[in-house]
Structure 1
Amino acid sequence: MTFANRHIGPDTDEQTHMLKAIGYASLDALMDAAIPEVIRWHGSLNLPDAASEEETIAELRAIASRNRVTTSMIGLGYYGTHTPAVIKRNVLENPAWYTAYTPYQPEISQGRLEALLNFQTMVTDLTGLTTANASMLDEGTAVAEAMTLAKRASKSKSPTYVVDADTLPQTLAVLRTRAEPLGIDLALVDLDAGDALPGEFFGLHLQYPGASGAVRDHASLIEAAHAHGALVTVAADLLALTLLRAPGEIGADIAAGTTQRFGVPLGFGGPHAGYLAVRAGLERSLPGRLVGVSKDADGAPAYRLALQTREQHIRREKATSNICTAQVLLAVMASMYAVYHGPAGLRDIAKRTHNHALTLAGSLTAGGVEVAHGAFFDTVTAVVPGRAAAIVAAAASEGVDLRLVDADRVSVSTDETTTDAHVAAVLGAFGVAVTSPAECGAKPLARTSEYLTHPVFRSHHSETSMLRYLRKLSDRDYALDRGMIPLGSCTMKLNATTEMEPVTWPEFAAIHPYAPATNTAGYEELVSTLEGWLAEITGYDAVSVQPNAGSQGELAGLLAIRGYHRSRGETHRDVCLIPSSAHGTNAASAVMAGMRVVVVACDDLGNVDMYDLHAKIAKHADALAAIMVTYPSTHGVYETSIADLCAAVHEAGGQVYVDGANLNALVGFARPGKFGADVSHLNLHKTFCIPHGGGGPGVGPVAVRQHLAEFLPGDPLEPGEHHAVSAAAHGSAGILPISWAYLRMMGPDGLAAATGTAVLTANYVASRLREHYPVLYAGNNGLVAHECILDLRPITKATGVSVDDVAKRLIDYGFHAPTMSFPVAGTLMVEPTESEDLAELDRFVAAMIAIKGEIDQVAAGVWPAKDNPLANAPHTASAVTADEWEHPYPRSVAGFPESVDRTAKYWPPVRRIDGAYGDRNLVCSCPSPEAFED
């Protein structure tokens, strides 16, 4: 059996059954009927024929062998770390964690939400601030978000943002990318040279410790910034904060950084969980995800995403951030690293790391080598006039990579993995012997406050306890390892184990993003090949995998358009047309790219209103920069007017951005780069099988036609005019083997078959449910694309049963709900994907039909509107087995509704959660155990 046969759920007989149900003889006939001929492509993808799983692993082994695993002492925000085996096996390699979705259905996400609350608590404790979010994409983007947070929260009207010259260079590159389109002026200040602060500025960014390793006392500088009305961000190393005074203790308003060194592999730059924390008063301006504590219908504490009104699909062009995701899987790993080691264990790791740096500094000084700074944590910069390159080469010959700062300086960073032998090898490269450690000038800045005092960080230090804690949390969640997750717009498809296997190989996991090119030939081959395959699939000419989320791919694409117009002297082109149905990140990304958003109406069928489009083009023709459209549309329809839309925008001098969120309905049948689009971002975590991981990691490559290629993101450490949208040149490179393996094993025919099957399953579900729930939109021949929208608004109007009630009742039937109220309020958007077999599809259909029967009982007055199985869903085991039962329906209907397998029942750990209560009473760190006892 081929891999494609294993990836695609329905076999030939099941596909025949479904095709017959919707009236088509073959997948090709279905696709011919569904896809407008104007974009239909009848060619064959120029990709290698499908390889077997064994052949693919062997090829990846050969590619990995071209990477050279050395001891990295380069630092710059990326460090060697030991991933505890219990976390590696039971989180990183466990589908219960990596196949889950963003916890929008909190009742079935309590395990992940608790782990993220641990993450937030860990960050707030170590930074000394009051609220942290549930992770950011990396350190560079976290700092950029801190800058824009400071801009909107500061009372200063100045456009100037002051940046410490000792900031990590990749962070500075991302700051420059983000600042320029927003009209923010960056001012570099050299603290060592005694540069003065400017007269007016809205924010100050400090690196702690600095990129050079220097640890400085920033308290007076922070006080001076506050006197100017500015907000201060400190980019702090969390491991260092176990020994150094916390940013919150010296007056910082915001802290940002990365949690990579808390057990997360280097992965050539990612994925890693960034962090962002704020002082009291700024929590409602915090971008990204925020986990809060609320209560369920029984009054028991329960976790949920808090303050969801900040979500970009609601704020749209008023949004100040386009972040719509997090790095959940990596944040869980980092939080569990802190749980496993506890405060004492983390401090021991920090002390060992620091002591190795002291030995380096003391030995260098004793050997006559100047050390640039007397106060440091883990990084020692040596001043060696004219000798730097030779020293770096000498260390490399011993298998140790150092950072070449310039011709006269070498930087050496220690970490958890550093040994005495590594220190000796480095000193040997300098030509000095190991002697006594230096005295560190950072002692006056030593931390005296406690951290990680919550019992969770003091309870699970044995392998047994940690294993059971992780199992308990995963049991409280629902992921693809339990059943179907039919989320429209999200493509929750199979992430095959063979695809996942290479991610933890040292040859991929243990490579520093700024390792010498001689060490990274395998990665460069992998990235180049994958980018080429993605270009072929989409019909574009060039691809960059740097964007580490779909939102960042959007931004990169729009910045490419902006760069193109500017290169032609058309700086006045700044209007971005966006259909009213678009995902909110589109509008937010346009604002961040310095564009003005103009909304284009949709007609009654959900298509872009072409009359309104032409009117808006005519009105803004001279200023038109771009249009952003999703194809197939956000409504799940192949719009027939897409080619006309592209032509109209091009004629007015604009560029066409096609959001690649729905590419799972196009691969092998249509190519955006050939039907009129100029740029797209692709979601590798949707179409190309990188797991969602509970809300991240994601990868959002940007693909462009040739005229935009020169404006793609560039290496943040390379000089030039290019922009960088993430801190590493290839973004989350560590998980790219997943998509590489998927494409290699599927081959061109398998990819087309997957697309056809995804469209088939969506149309099968739509045809089965149409008589029970209206299907809101359809395209050619009454067909949908890869998803369908079920309209519950007439049901709600007639019975009071809401879309929330149906979503929560699906939990009792053993399902994750479809996407709720997007893109149309009061609807459910269903995307079955190609991975679910007929039995699972029919199980979902049966559940939805049974729920409609329950709604009919409410409509008929058999069950009261306020007391029925839907209004009270979901039902927990404790609720169903309670001594008292006063509902008008039996316990069996509550807990074991029709079609549920009693031997495999999933019980939600909490009842329906009160979201409003959680927002009014915002609690975003671990509650005390007594809260649960009460």
Structure 2
Amino acid sequence: MRVTSFADRHIGITSEAQRHMLDALGVHGDDPVEVLMRQAVPDSIYTAATEQSSIPAAASEAEALAELRALANRNTVNRAMIGLGYHGTFTPSVIQRNVLENPSWYTAYTPYQPEISQGRLEALINFQTMVSDLAGLTTANSSMLDESTAVAEAMLLARRASKSKSNVFVVDADALPQTKALLATRAEAVGVELVERDLAGGEELPEELFGVLVQYPGASGRVWDPSAVFDAAHVANGIAIAAADLLALTLLRSPGSLGADVAVGTTQRFGVPMAFGGPHAGYMSVRAGLERQLPGRLVGVSQDAVGYPAYRLALQTREQHIRREKATSNICTAQVLLAVMASMYAVYHGPDGLRAIAQQVATRARLLKTELDKAGVEVVHDAFFDTVQVRTADAAGVVARAHEAGFLLRLVDAETVAVSVDETTTVAEVLRVANLLGASGGAFGFVGGVTALPEALLREDEYLTHPVFHVHRSETAMMRYLKQLADRDYALDRGMIPLGSCTMKLNAATEMAAITWPEFAQLHPFAPREDVDGSLAMIDQLEGWLAEVTGYDAVSLQPNAGSQGELAGLLAIRGYHHAGGDAHRTVCLIPSSAHGTNAASAVLAGMKVVVVATDELGNVDLDDLHAKIAQHAENLSALMITYPSTHGVYEEQVTTITAAVHEAGGQVYVDGANLNALLGYARFGDLGGDVSHLNLHKTFAIPHGGGGPGVGPVAAKAHLAPYLPGHPQAQSAVHSGGHVFEGGPVSGAPYGSAGVLPISWAYVRMMGPEGLRDATAAAVLSANYIAARLAEHYPVLYSGEQGRVAHECILDLRPLKDATGITVDDVAKRLIDYGFHAPTMSFPVAGTLMVEPTESEDLGEVDRFIEAMIQIKAEADAVAAGTWPADDNPLVNAPHTAESLIAGEWQHAYPREVAAYPVRSLIAAKYWPPVRRIDQAYGDRNLVCACPPIEAFA
């Protein structure tokens, strides 16, 4: 009897189920799965199975964990006192167990269907309230990718919102070094001039500017009053931005009270491990009047069909998938899972607990200064929160000796060492470091509670006054609150999330196991090379594996979202053209069917978007493509194309398309969003791609986490490799294959969200080359099975030349609306009553549903979805036949809450049983949505983006 492999458990369809599905498709032969794939994938790009691979044969779960353990053991976790926006923190066990390690939280999707996302949305509105309270500003979004990218987004916001005509953006000399490096990358592409000033030292601002950034406290640790700088920026019609430490803000005056228009930063030290650089939730908060300029996502309060308060994403027309090249940002993935952790850290500790933690940090930093003062060691600044800079004649020697003793200090320059204290730092450790810096080590008479914060900057106003930050004090209460919120949501632990273009596949427990191991979770991103040998080896292996399966030569894992991978790839193309003397090549061709982030990314890379039409089959219109190439040949920079297409088909002429672009001197960017339909059967590099981003949170099993974390590595051919994103603080300049990346960084940490890379490493290691190929075939089989079963009820909008779709299919609901009046929204909401998350609505074609089953779903779940869709069609037909009124039927009233079924007399034209249990199987396992259909427009007209008072729910 064969031992079950990991792939057998990951792929939901058994061999018997495959035979049933293939029979339904009329596919036969000695190897019918291969027959189906030959029908779907064009011959011009098809790759047969091969035994030659750098990826080892599949490991068992135990073997993979043992290998990961060996890699982890090559890391050394020293006490990190480097600071620079990354700090040790204690993750409350109740949050680690009930959020980070809980599939109810980490397998959820972005809350575009708000009725089944109320728990996650409440956690995010807690996050927004926490941030806006501490920042002293009116509105915060529901997370950014990290602090450095948040600063870059704030710079772009300032450029949009400022009345100044200047292109000058002033950067604090005491800003984080990684932020300065990332700003340089982002500013150059869009024509912004960066001017650095020692603002704390009194250097004046230029006469003209559109914005100014102040680090508060500074990277050096210095605390000072920036209000005069903010005032001067306002006189110049500029926008004042503070990059602020949220923990420090529990003791220090808020940026808003000092005159800042925008506050940005990270919430990492609110219970989220350093994890070698991420993932962490960045934040952005703005003053009144700038709400509609916010990038990313914003959770707001609206009401449902009966007037009950309900949460949903506000101002959705700002979202990049709708606005395209007019988008304010290309950010798609947020950091929801990490934002939830940070918000629950605040819920767990409350304002008093946070203040106590900050007070402890500040007093221990002051203790370090006291000991150094007694020994006559020079401390650079008198006012600081958690970071002390020390003058010493042998700075490098001090840092080296501290490393030998188990402490990581920061070498600022030849005569300066910086030491950062955090909530995990003990008094004994402070004294040991003081000794290493020259203190005597004798008895001390330090009085607790004394800090080095200026009295004039001490915070006096209240924050976190909402009851949610006060009532969950016991672990019992906290556990129950987290469970209550999770129960309001629909995630993969409940059932299939059949979203097209988003690949909501299984995130296996073994893949997730290593992310909380301290050898990975407690590494500082700027730890010395010798401390992170195991992580670098894992990263090198994963880069090599990803390069092989995509047909590229080099991979950078730095981008911490697909949007940032897109930007990095386009910046690589830009760098290549500039190096070749072709700076005039700025035109980017993008098919009209493309992901919305494509156009926004091109604009942020300094390119001009030219849209290429698609034909009636959903393919790129070759005539229009050739015409646009001819029109823009001299200035053609790139073509961005998604493959398989956003319409869910393998375009037959893809190699013709890429060849035409190359002939005109352009480069080809292949969007990797749909790689789940190609892996093992075709490679981007072989079909003419020069560069691609990959979504590890789609194809390679990193969880979506309710809208993040995401990882969007960028892969390229050798000629573009030098222009991929590097990092000035990276432990190694050489990447897999010997490539050196010289492009500017696109995320704050050298290896992006390195903390979740063990998930994708484990996925590839346990699947092996054969398993990856089998997963692709299973996904394509399931999508074609759904398309075939539903074709007589809903037209399948696009298919390939042999009538096959890729790993997803688009169901056209426009004929249904014409015949019955039932809309795509009605069908999506009615699916909730059947126990399903809706497929992707109205993208890329309005009035359609894009369905992607993924390889993880078994035949029973796929059939359950098919049967639900067939029955919903029958319900719509009943409306058309007059059985139920057009304004009172189970579709237009969906979803139905338990309260709606039992409150008062039932007065609808259809039975209660039809509303609640449209199929009998639901009786045993029913998901009850907590709210009725939500009024989106009401929430935009009455914009509320912080925790509503408890009375609102009475």
* 1:456 paired residue number: 468
* 1:167 paired residue number: 175
* 1:803 paired residue number: 824
Q: How many residues align?
A: 932
Report which stretch shifted further, 710-719 or 10-19. Answer: 710-719
* 1:330 paired residue number: 338
* 2:616 paired residue number: 604
C-alpha displacement of 1:12: 0.3
Is the Cα contact below 8 Å between 1:35 and 1:780 reproduced in 2?
no
Amino acid at match of 2:563: S
Distance 1:228 1:793 in 2: 53
**2:206 is aligned with 1:198:** yes
* 1:146 paired residue number: 154
Is the Cα contact below 8 Å between 1:777 and 1:784 reproduced in 2?
yes
* 1:88 paired residue number: 96
RMSD (Å), alpha carbons: 1.0
* 1:591 paired residue number: 603
TM value normalised by structure 2: 0.97
Distance 1:192 1:882, change over 3 A: closer
Amino acid at match of 1:462: S
Is the Cα contact below 8 Å between 2:879 and 2:885 reproduced in 1?
yes
* 1:670 paired residue number: 682
Equivalent in 570, 575, 586 of residue 582 of structure 2: 570
* 2:738 paired residue number: none
Distance 2:333 2:683 in 1: 27
* 1:12 paired residue number: 15
Deviations 1:190-221 (A, max 9, x none): 12443211010000000000000000101111
Name the SS of the counterpart of 2:301 in structure 1: strand
Distance 1:132 1:868 in 2: 39
Report which stretch shifted further, 75-84 or 358-367. Answer: 358-367
C-alpha displacement of 1:442: 1.8
Amino acid at match of 2:849: L
Name the SS of the counterpart of 2:749 in structure 1: coil
Report which stretch shifted further, 427-436 or 355-364. Answer: 427-436
Distance 1:920 1:716 in 2: 46
User: Identity rate of aligned residues, in percent?
Assistant: 69
Summarize the alignment of residues 656-805 of structure 1 with structure 2, pairs less than 5 Å apart: 656-717=668-729, 722-805=743-826
C-alpha displacement of 1:259: 0.0
**2:912 is aligned with 1:909:** no
Distance 2:315 2:16 in 1: 47
* 1:824 paired residue number: 845
C-alpha displacement of 1:882: 1.6
C-alpha displacement of 1:798: 2.0
**2:345 is aligned with 1:342:** no
Summarize the alignment of residues 887-902 of structure 1 with structure 2, pairs less than 5 Å apart: 887-902=908-923
**2:663 is aligned with 1:638:** no
Distance 1:292 1:322, change over 3 A: same
**2:425 is aligned with 1:413:** no
* 1:27 paired residue number: 33
Amino acid at match of 2:47: W
Is the Cα contact below 8 Å between 1:843 and 1:899 reproduced in 2?
no
Distance 1:124 1:927 in 2: 14
Amino acid at match of 1:34: A
* 1:390 paired residue number: 397
C-alpha displacement of 1:679: 0.4
Deviations 1:282-306 (A, max 9, x none): 0011010100000000100000000
C-alpha displacement of 1:422: 1.0
Is the Cα contact below 8 Å between 2:126 and 2:343 reproduced in 1?
yes
Amino acid at match of 2:870: I
C-alpha displacement of 1:520: 0.2
Distance 1:436 1:179 in 2: 50
Is the Cα contact below 8 Å between 1:814 and 1:900 reproduced in 2?
no
Distance 1:643 1:449 in 2: 63
C-alpha displacement of 1:314: 1.2
Distance 1:699 1:325 in 2: 9
Amino acid at match of 2:48: H
Deviations 1:682-707 (A, max 9, x none): 00000000000000000000000000
Name the SS of the counterpart of 1:901 in structure 2: helix
Distance 1:33 1:274 in 2: 45
Distance 1:317 1:566 in 2: 23
Deviations 1:539-566 (A, max 9, x none): 1000000000000000000000000000
Name the SS of the counterpart of 2:669 in structure 1: strand
User: Tell me, which stretches of 5 or more residues in structure 2 are unaligned?
Assistant: 734-740
* 2:194 paired residue number: 186
C-alpha displacement of 1:800: 1.4
Distance 2:799 2:920 in 1: 29
User: Tell me, which stretches of 5 or more residues in structure 1 are unaligned?
Assistant: none
C-alpha displacement of 1:899: 4.5
Report which stretch shifted further, 423-432 or 484-493. Answer: 423-432
Is the Cα contact below 8 Å between 1:313 and 1:585 reproduced in 2?
yes
Deviations 1:753-805 (A, max 9, x none): 00000000000000000000000000031000000000001111222110000
Is the Cα contact below 8 Å between 1:395 and 1:425 reproduced in 2?
no
Is the Cα contact below 8 Å between 1:716 and 1:728 reproduced in 2?
no
Distance 1:301 1:96 in 2: 23
Equivalent in 344, 352, 369 of residue 361 of structure 1: 369
Deviations 1:392-435 (A, max 9, x none): 11211211110011111000000010001211221111121354
Distance 1:741 1:342 in 2: 37
Amino acid at match of 1:52: S
Name the SS of the counterpart of 1:904 in structure 2: coil
Distance 2:800 2:532 in 1: 47
Is the Cα contact below 8 Å between 1:239 and 1:350 reproduced in 2?
yes
Name the SS of the counterpart of 2:934 in structure 1: coil
Equivalent in 428, 431, 435 of residue 438 of structure 2: 431
Amino acid at match of 1:30: L
C-alpha displacement of 1:597: 0.1
Is the Cα contact below 8 Å between 2:362 and 2:451 reproduced in 1?
no
**2:878 is aligned with 1:878:** no
**2:862 is aligned with 1:841:** yes
**2:478 is aligned with 1:466:** yes
Summarize the alignment of residues 286-297 of structure 1 with structure 2, pairs less than 5 Å apart: 286-297=294-305
Distance 1:436 1:516 in 2: 35
Deviations 1:471-522 (A, max 9, x none): 0000000000000000000000000000000000000000000001110001
Equivalent in 32, 36, 42 of residue 36 of structure 1: 42
Amino acid at match of 2:440: A
Distance 2:742 2:558 in 1: 16
Distance 1:641 1:367 in 2: 75
**2:407 is aligned with 1:400:** yes
* 1:66 paired residue number: 74
Is the Cα contact below 8 Å between 2:346 and 2:354 reproduced in 1?
yes
C-alpha displacement of 1:657: 0.3
Summarize the alignment of residues 174-253 of structure 1 with structure 2, pairs less than 5 Å apart: 174-253=182-261
Amino acid at match of 2:395: A
Report which stretch shifted further, 543-552 or 26-35. Answer: 26-35
* 1:130 paired residue number: 138
